Structure 1
Amino acid sequence: MRAVLRSVMWWITSVMGDHDYARYVEYLRTHDPDADVPTEREFWRARYRAQDTNPGARCC
């Protein structure tokens, strides 16, 4: 039962974007190790700023 709940929680957090910053940092370190890694706050701020400039990109 715990495995099922854990899987459901993982799916929900994935859909909500909770893992996006970690994936982005991993991508940056893999593809451009010399690049400055933004803080999580900077990452989310830039992401929401991009959505505001293109409202059609948002789901809601």
Structure 2
Amino acid sequence: MEAVRGVRRAVDWVRWYVREVSGESVYDRYVAHARAHAPGATVMSRREFEHSRMDAREADPREGFRCC
């Protein structure tokens, strides 16, 4: 039983790590922030959020968007 919990904990940690590194969790944090600070406001869909995020990165090279 203890081994199963250890494996489960390791899998959960790997999942968390991959989501953080890939940026997958950024949208979840945006939704939580938007709902906490403006409960009545419309929350962007994931697609809208990603488009907005890419537009912002392309507009400002200091945000880390580079072609090479």
Normalised TM-score (structure 1): 0.83
Aligned length: 60
Q: Which has the higher contact order (CA 8 A, sep 6+)?
A: 1
- Structure showing greater radius of gyration is 2
Query: Structure 1: which 5+ residue stretches go unaligned?
Result: none
Cα distance per residue 1:8-55 (max 9 Å; x no partner): 231121121101111111111100111111110000000000000011
Query: Structure 2: which 5+ residue stretches go unaligned?
Result: 1-6
Normalised TM-score (structure 2): 0.75
Report percent identity of matched pairs: 33
User: What root-mean-square deviation, in Å, do the aligned CA atoms of Structure 1 and Structure 2 show?
Assistant: 1.6
Q: Please, which of 18, 29, 32 is the counterpart of residue 26 of structure 1?
A: 32
Task: Please list, as runs of the form range in 1=range in 2, the aligned pairs for 1:35-50 lying within 5 A after superposition.
Answer: 35-50=41-56
